[in-house]
Structure 1
Amino acid sequence: MAELHVELVAADRKVWSGEATIVLARTKSGDIGIQAGHTPVLGVMESDPVTIRQADGTTVVAAVHGGFLSFADNKLSILAEVAELADEIDIERAERALAESTGETAAAAQRRAEVRLAAATKR
């Protein structure tokens, strides 16, 4: 199966880079799956887990909060405001953050905690 090159970058660091067979993400326009040969696309990211499937069958999952994705010439760039690999997420800390996020003013913090837990449980 053909592969595409993926770069997942947060505002403060390069999170992951490599080859993949498909990347699944959520944009403001809805869920999207990108494989090699996909038409060029530019999307605004929603806070949600991103799943990267590699040719060897392994899967990389990251919690991504905001940003953009861009695909052209078999290169996918995900430029996130905040991103962390599922293996980096402290589940207990994320559960505490979710429990502590109450009220409308904490809706964004609650969504970040939910995404972190979703990504961590997909690993």
Structure 2
Amino acid sequence: MTAGALLTAPYDVHAVRADFPILSRQVAGRPLVYLDNASSSHKPTQVLDAERAFVEQHYSNVHRGVHTLSQEATDAYEAARDTVAAFLGAADPHEVVFTKNATEAYNLVAYSFGNAAAGSA
């Protein structure tokens, strides 16, 4: 462990909780604690705001139209891919594949590994 790692600011769980509107709820007189994220995850305010702005101003199909809204939606989608690729350190944004859920992602990885193993024999 480096000295720099020891000097990082402590994780502020209260600041993170404040970003999630649902976590302001009380259940049985106590702050809500939600642990079922494998099934459904709640969204922070920043995501809700971005989704609302997109739906109100740019909502359309992605990669399927030539009209303005479709082009704007496609541009936003590809910009998100670029952001994720940079965050992950991907060599190319096309290495990032979006799936609709974890099950589809796991199946895609398993299928890809299966094909790679079959071709290596």
More helix by share: 2
Larger Rg: 2
Query: RCO greater where, 1 or 2, for CA within 8 Å and sep 6 or more?
Result: 1
Question: Shorter-chain-normalised TM-score: which range?
Answer: under 0.3
Normalised to the residue count of structure 2, the TM-score between the two structures is 0.24
